Amino acid sequence: MRIGWKAATDPTSPIAGYQVEMSVKGGEFGASVDLPASQLDTTRWISYEVPYQFRVRAVDTAGNWSPWATGPVVVMHAVDDRNGAIVRHG
């Protein structure tokens, strides 16, 4: 799954990077992944039919962290693309 966010801004100091965390099945948010300021998305492997939630925060060059921005709970469902009900266009 690809997770993306808008670039953070700070009027007094440039953004130095981001942290992303993931929660599985409503559990605690786990291990932070540190990303550079130039990266506004990341890809995570997830399983079908399992609820996930992601959150991100920014840090500026002075070391100030933003509050966490938490996304909605998402669940990926498998789809049989051979099903006759699926119509392809283009």
Contact 61, 20 (CB under 8 A): no
Q: Length of the chain, please?
A: 90
What integer pLDDT is reported at residue 46 of this predicted model? 92
Residue 40, Cβ density class (10 Å: 0-12 exposed, 13-18 middle, ≥19 buried): middle
What integer pLDDT is reported at residue 78 of this predicted model? 82
Residues pairing with 3 in the sheet = 42
What integer pLDDT is reported at residue 15 of this predicted model? 98
Per-residue pLDDT of the chain (90 residues; tens, 9 = 90+): 899 999 999 999 999 999 999 999 999 999 999 999 999 999 999 999 999 999 999 999 999 999 999 999 999 988 777 777 777 777
Q: What is the DSSP string of 10-23?
A: -SSS-EEEEEEEEE
Distance, in Å, from the CA atom of 47 to the CA atom of 64, rounded to the nearest integer, reads 34
What integer pLDDT is reported at residue 77 of this predicted model? 87
